[in-house]
Amino acid sequence: MTAINIEETKNTAEMAKQLPEPKGYRVLCLVPQVATTFGDSGLVKPDETVRNEEITTVVLFVVALGPDAYKDMQRFPSGPYCKKGDFVIARAYAGTRLNIHGQEFRLLNDDSIEAVVEDPRGIRRA
């Protein structure tokens, strides 16, 4: 069993309070961490390469949905495209980009979500 670092837990809780609450039909997504090395070779990627991969990624993790997301039954007759906790596909550069404590987030319109994926590993923008 590992010891719980109370100070780290406090900091994490404080950081979580700083996440924006999506309003209307917006979806808050987290950009997953990009690998800092190239595959099996173990070569370290330049910082610019890592940054470009983060900016152009098409894989996002849904953190929160606004209260009106997917409520319009005429636009979404089969229901929501995604839910909190899903990995989704959206266009590269889509949404409003935010950097919170070194982690990139994006606010997207609900209709910007194009697919849900169970396992996003290996998915890259072509």
Q: What is the pLDDT of residues 48-98, one digit of tens each?
A: 988 888 888 999 999 999 999 999 999 999 999 999 999 999 999 899 999
pLDDT at 126 over 60: yes
pLDDT of residue 102: 86
pLDDT of amino acid 53:
85
User: Which has the closest alpha carbon to 29: 91, 71, 70, 86?
Assistant: 86
Q: Of residues 126 and 96, which shows the higher confidence score?
A: 96
111-115 long-range contacts, CB within 8 A, separation 24+: 111/25, 111/75, 111/81, 112/27, 113/27, 113/81, 113/82, 113/88, 113/89, 114/88, 114/89, 114/90, 115/88, 115/89
Over residues 94-114, the pLDDT tens digits come to 999 999 988 899 999 999 999
Whether 6 has a pLDDT exceeding 60, the answer reads no
